[in-house]
Amino acid sequence: MPRFYSPSRLALLGLSLLPLAATAQNVDSLLVVHTTDAGHKVSRATVFQNGGFLLGGTYDGNYDPNAIPAEGGGLRLMWHPRRAAFRAGYVDDTQWDDANIGNYSIAAGYNTRASGDYATAFGFRTIAAQVGSTALGQYCQASGAASVAMGYYAHTNARQGSFVFADRSVVDDGDQFSDESFRADANHSASWRVSNGFRIYTASDRSTGVIIQSGTGLTGNVLYNPSWYNASAVICTYTGAYLSNGGAWTNASDRRKKHRFEAVAGEDVLRRLRRVPITRWSYKTETGAVRHLGPMAQDFYRAFQLGPDSISIGTVDADGVALAGVQALDARTQALQAENQQLRAVNAAIQARLTALEQRPAGPASAAALPWAAALAATGLGVVLLRARR
């Protein structure tokens, strides 16, 4: 049961209100309660004609169970000036006893507790236990200094400077300290449990933004998805680029998103590519064991003038250069294959003529022609070999 201080004191206070009401200094005040401090009249409570009220007091921050207006369970609106703390709502135990009230703290709702100095607790069974902590929602606990727990069973896990938001996707078993609590992993971190995705819109009509999700589709009641939403993407963006649930980054490449088309000469791409050094290297922020292979952005930009600057390489540009180079090499291969077929045909014709000469009856004319035929065949074969080496 709540303990109020004290019946005799309250009776004296009630009697004292009659003469003090006449001392109201504001024309719209109905009641002003004063006390004397160091010989000076100090206002403690004022009730105004419009229904407003103002409460004052003296703060000292010390634990004194006799100074708090009420303790124990009960329904109340309470201002505790000795701790500069405010409480409103209902508690069924000691949540709002002086020992559980932080200096300059606020708690409101059902069984809320703000025991840390400068702490704030709102909602249903929320706890803000450390200095500057905030707990909002249901069953949330902010147990780290300057931490924030919001939503449903969010828990900052004694990690200072952490932020935890938890959705209502778990089933409540009635135990505030059970496993459904979603806890912070580290100091100075932000943790989110949002089973249907984390959505950031950069336009009021939701036409631009980014969505981070599981990539396995939405569950429950879904009221709206933007036109650029991709259910199978882990990260989807309004640009059309996305990270698939298989781990592949996919660039936007819709023809309808492009303009200013220009034809590309494959041999020119190869010529430019020859001037781009390809080396093995590591990023300065990586360990020595991590190696990469590729060009420098400055060399790539100098050769192709692609992308917005000379310090980065877009994957779509690197892919485009590679594909154009492959097409140019394929064109060379096809030309060489066609030329090789022609040389094979010429060689076959020469071989056929040589065979025909060898099969003629022996005679002075045919014997004289044999050296010339052999020389012609050797010349044809030499041409074929020379072409093949090219």
> DSSP letter string over 125-166?
S-EE-STT-EEEEES-EE-STT-EEEEESEE-TT-TT-EEEE
Structure tokens, 139: 């069953």
For residue 367, being part of any structural domain is answered with yes
- Both 316 and 329 in a single domain? no
Structure tokens, 217: 């589709």
How far lies 377's CA from each of 57, 102, 383, in Å?
119, 106, 10
What is the SS3 assignment for 111?
coil
Position 50 scores a pLDDT of 87
For residue 178, being part of any structural domain is answered with no
- Both 308 and 329 in a single domain? no
**Last residue of some domain: 160, 190, 213?**
160
Local confidence band at 64 (pLDDT 50, 70, 90 cut-offs): confident
Residue 358, pLDDT above cutoff 80: yes
Q: Is the distance from CB of 317 to CB of 306 less than 8 angstroms? A: yes
Q: Is the distance from CB of 22 to CB of 42 less than 8 angstroms? A: no
pTM over 0.85: no
For the chain, percent of residues with pLDDT exceeding 70 = 84
**Last residue of some domain: 160, 183, 201?**
160
- Both 281 and 302 in a single domain? yes
- Both 143 and 103 in a single domain? yes
For residue 208, being part of any structural domain is answered with no
Position 39 scores a pLDDT of 80
**Last residue of some domain: 305, 321, 337?**
321
For residue 111, being part of any structural domain is answered with yes
Position 11 scores a pLDDT of 37
For residue 212, being part of any structural domain is answered with no
For residue 82, being part of any structural domain is answered with yes
Residue 19, pLDDT above cutoff 60: no
Domain count for the chain: 3
Residue 366, pLDDT above cutoff 70: no
For residue 152, being part of any structural domain is answered with yes
- Both 303 and 345 in a single domain? no
Local confidence band at 178 (pLDDT 50, 70, 90 cut-offs): low
In this prediction, residues 4-18 reach a mean pLDDT of 41
- Both 288 and 362 in a single domain? no
Rounded CA-CA distance 169/155 in Å is 15
Position 385 scores a pLDDT of 53
Classify each residue of 72-88 as buried b or exposed e, where b means 16 or more C-beta atoms within 10 Å of its C-beta: ebeeeebbbbbbbbbbb
- Both 119 and 147 in a single domain? yes
Q: Which residue has the higher pLDDT, 355 or 382?
A: 355
- Both 290 and 336 in a single domain? no
For residue 223, being part of any structural domain is answered with no
Q: Which residue has the higher pLDDT, 334 or 222?
A: 334
> Domain containing 151: what range?
58-160
- Both 346 and 311 in a single domain? no
Residue 365, pLDDT above cutoff 70: no
Average pLDDT over the chain, rounded to whole?
Answer: 87
